Chains A and B, each alone.
Chain A
Amino acid sequence: MALLEIRGLVKKFPQSDAEVLHGIDLNIEAGEFVVVIGPSGAGKTTLVRCINRLIDPTAGEIFFDGQFTLGLRGNRLRKLRAQMGMIFQDYNLIYRSNVMQNVLHGRLGQMPFYRSALGLYARDDLQQAYDLLTAVGLTDFMHVKAQTLSGGQMQRVGICRAMMQNPKLLLADEPISSLDPASAKVVLDQIKSLTAARGLTSIVNLHQVEFAKQYASRIVGLRRGQIVFDGTPDALTGDVTNYIYS
């Protein structure tokens, strides 16, 4: 059974008449590195956010790990979200907290109520956060306030925060859109190597086709809220790309 099953997903925002997502069907198997491409406004962000329910879809079904996700509320919704790490375009770090704190925030959702409220992290958590920072080369910055980091460094902290959840699924929404090409490559390399080492399933939104072909094990092309391509990077020809972005 697929790790993630999406059937007939529709999203309509109250402000506009048009459907942002127009009946999406998608199965994602454990261990895949799926890159979703498409022009801005194609519905990439909405799709990813429906998966962890930051956005509630209008119609359709989503099963994660065999569980129907759309009815979940309260604690059970939180438990679902704790199993999915997310990386954001604008990093969304807590600027006035240090790097270590920001990484550890990824663990808060899985701690008992009082421990999370007081910030009583376990020794092992600290060690894991440190190891993650080592992997992305930021140990020297562990006690530096996040606001003083560069964009690339911030996103690497964002990766660690998502990994800190020990998630079953990693969602990344335009993780490199705000970065220069050099930092973008570092960030994608690190996402790729950290997920590969853990056999972690990933869904990454990108709008750069070259990067998608380079990193993806499977590419999904989104155009006006519909999947118009689903296949290996090799199958993504110039014609298809042109159609997606037309």
Chain B
Amino acid sequence: MYDERFRIKFGLSVFAVAIVVVACFFYLRLDAIAIFTVAPAFLSFIATEFMPPALDNASAFLLPALFTVAFAVVSTLISAFFSFIFALMMTEAIMPYWTVRFSVRFVMTFVRNIPVVIWAVMMVLIFGVGSMVGLMALIMATTGFLSRSYAESINEIAVRKLEPMRASGVGKLAMIRHGLLPEFAPAWVNWTLFSFELNVRASAVLGLVGVGIGMGLTIQTRLTFRRFQDVATMVLILIIVVLATEFIANWMRNRFMNNVNAASSAAPPKNNVLRVVPLHALIKKWFAIVVIVSVFVLCIFYIDLDVARFVGRLNRAPDILRQLMRIDIGIITTGLRQFSISFAMGLVGLVLGGLLAFMLAFLAADNIAPFKPLAMAIKGFVSIVRAVPSLIFILMIVAAVGLGYTAGVVVLILSSMGYLTKAFVGTIEEQHRGIITAMRATGAGWWQIVLHGLLPAVLTGFFAWLAIRMETSVAESVTLGVVGAGGIGTLISRAERNRDFAALTTLILIIVICMAALEWGSNYLRRRVVARG
């Protein structure tokens, strides 16, 4: 793959990206040195103000943490249900009318491209604060994401696997039940757990943007009163909760996948009783369903949704919605300019975070790590960075060094680094050990193995991850703006405070359109990269 044309193209792309990043620096008037000096300032601030965490209060913070998890469970399961139905409506083999498919797809693209925090801002504006509002915001964002992911998996299954049923005259509902559901189950488990992990972080954050619930609220109040040691405890608990949910999610994934293989030993039927499914498999299935349903019900009772208050406010919704149905032409140029700032911040975060991740990944991947303790340390550090939502990061950094684009960019670098390091390490570890062994056998050193053995093999995967992360990074940059990091998010929070509905609608439309364009661009890049690989 290292032919001359590829080298030139590759070199040119890297050069172009470098130019764009430098341009972004000037555009944002970023102080390149400040970005790197923020880290020591931040760390010393953490060391003096946040340490030691106020552990004597820890028990008081456990309840909000539990609340956060329960909230994530409820929102994820409700979204999973609706997303499945929407995903079916987007699949050609299930839904024959293209008008319906197209409309659902359109609405879901719209819904998906509004970040959860913006949803929260909008919902708070319409319905006031409360847990129902937080739940709705989470469900919106999650449904947008899941319905697309589900639809991709379902489409693949429907094309390949449902043909025999179609060919033998099976009805739609039976086809879904007997053909689609069993084949879709692994993807369902995978995507749903993935969004559960995201939602734990998101529901911890919602309190920060005025929804008034969970850990975010607790952290917010403590930050306002500069009770940093309490904040440290909260963040510590949050890290533990996120890592624990990740651990449990992985355990459930593995268990679900291995289950299939374990149940597959051939044996003659017992007692000459004919059963479609053996009794033990039936019991296991129903047990799993009962567990999921009861966890869901328990969590619903635990988060104690303020349904009455929400319903009481429904009557003001039409009025506000009517006011939202307007567009402020005057703000479009400002909005676009501010989106370009959000975009520039997201891009700088992506590229610099990607560079860091690139360096860390080769030091941390099991199959190539030069020094095991260092690899462990990097992996631990990255998990912790990943566990802290960027909104909490920015509030901590703002407390340390003040507001501005620099704070935002630093947070975006950190979160892209966390995400991409994990992704890159995964890609490297997927590589066949044979490559490394073979090169080692020829006496190649670490550098040579990385440069000539691994790099050509993983580059495509890395670029695909970068393309995926580009969307998230910009969305995160928009979100950070809501708490004051600048860009279009800051405009939105200002419009919300001034109850300037027309401006709010216009800005959200700008976000949706630009993010949809970005999504399209990211998919295009990914397809090109994968096609080449």
Contact = CB atoms under 8 A, between A and B. Distances in A.
Interface of A: 52, 54, 77-82, 84-86, 88, 90, 92, 94-98, 100-101, 104-106, 108-111, 113, 116-119, 121, 123, 126-127, 130, 139-145, 147-148, 158, 161-162, 165
Contact of B185 (A96, A101, A130): A96
Contact of A81 (B168, B174, B183, B263): B168
A42 to B, nearest CB: 21
Contacts of A97: 178, 182
A113 B268 CA distance: 32
B276 A88 contact: no
A145 B264 contact: yes
Interface string B44-59: 0000000000000000
Contacts of B269: 130, 139, 142-143
Given A81-B166, A165-B168, A94 B161 contact: yes
Given A110-B169, A140-B268, A101 B277 contact: yes
Contacts of B161: 92, 94
A126 B170 contact: no
16 contacts: A54-B163, A54-B166, A94-B182, A101-B178, A101-B277, A104-B276, A108-B168, A108-B171, A109-B170, A116-B170, A117-B173, A130-B269, A139-B268, A141-B266, A144-B264, A161-B168
Contacts, number: 124
Nearest to B157: A94
B322 interface: no
A80 B275 CA distance: 29
State the main secondary structure of chain A at its contact with B.
Answer: helix
A105 B164 contact: yes
A101 B171 CA distance: 16
B221 to A, nearest CB: 48
A119 B265 contact: no
A105 B165 contact: yes
Contacts of A158: 164
A108 B276 contact: no
A117 B176 CA distance: 9
B168 A98 contact: no
Contact of B183 (A95, A106, A111, A142): A95
B178 A108 contact: yes
Contacts of B179: 94, 105
A5 to B, nearest CB: 20
Nearest to A143: B278
Contacts of A80: 169
